[in-house]
Amino acid sequence: MSIETHFNGMEIPQCHQQLQGVLEAGVERVVLYGPPGTGKTYSGLTTGVTGTATRLVCTEDMTNANVEGMFFPNGSGTFSYLDGAATEAWRLGSRLVIDEIDKASGDVLGTLLAFTDSVASASHRLNNGEVIKPAHGFSVVMTTNLEDPNDLHEALRDRFPVAICMDAPHPAALMSLPEDLRAIAAKVVAAPKGRRASLRAFYEFQKLRRVFNLLQSAEIAFGKNLAESIVDALEVSAL
């Protein structure tokens, strides 16, 4: 087993190395938790994925149709069944990435429990009467912005005993930023709460500074509390 430690000359944070190792070890159920903007979704969709990956974003008002599927009219008085994200991943034997899992509730959570059960006992009857099982290769990565994975539903947590705190961005995500922002972004995204900013804020900041001066851009993207320190770091790095 070989775990990558560097990407384009940049060291890969320990949390991302852990995810590599966990997946290479054959673990098929993983929770990625921690602050937003550290690349949890990106890692779930790409790390250890050799084929396809399907993403399901949970919201408070989502229905089981998003998870398992539903009938759709064909326009000629007939109906066809369209697979939901979890059903599609089961059929393909692919990676299913369930984002914002803590937002799922009620019947949807119950359905997700069925689709994330161990392969040996996983089976589900769709609304069209078809009984399906996960194809070989199926795996699940859940993401949440919760600071403690034990705050997840007990039955869900039991299905996902392996949880990794993603507290730093992957270098691949940093490479899309201009070179002068990469080191600063890596530090700020991984900073403690109150001094932390999402990687998404840096993506927008690089656009804003084409129009506004540096301080204005920082205040718009990061808020006044962080703006001055980020501008100071940029000016120091430019010396």
- Euclidean distance between CA atoms 6 and 98, whole angstroms: 27
pLDDT (0 to 100) of residue 1 = 57
Structure-model confidence comparison of residues 120 and 23, the more confident one: 23
What residue ranges define each of the domains in the chain, with the CATH number in brackets? 6-165 (3.40.50.300), 176-237 (no CATH)
Span 155-209, pLDDT tens digits = 999 999 999 999 999 999 899 899 999 999 999 999 988 899 999 999 999 999 9
- What is Dmax (Cα atoms) for the chain? 70
* Pairing assessment for the beta strands 162-165 and 53-57 based on DSSP bridges: unpaired
Q: What integer is the mean pLDDT of 84-90?
A: 96
Separation CA 128–CA 140 (nearest Å) = 24
What does the pLDDT read at residue 77?
Answer: 78
Joined tokens for residue 89: 């991943």
What was the pLDDT predicted at 79? 85
Q: Are 142 and 30 in contact (CB under 8 A)?
A: yes
Burial bucket for residue 17 (CB in 10 Å: 0-12, 13-18, 19+):
middle
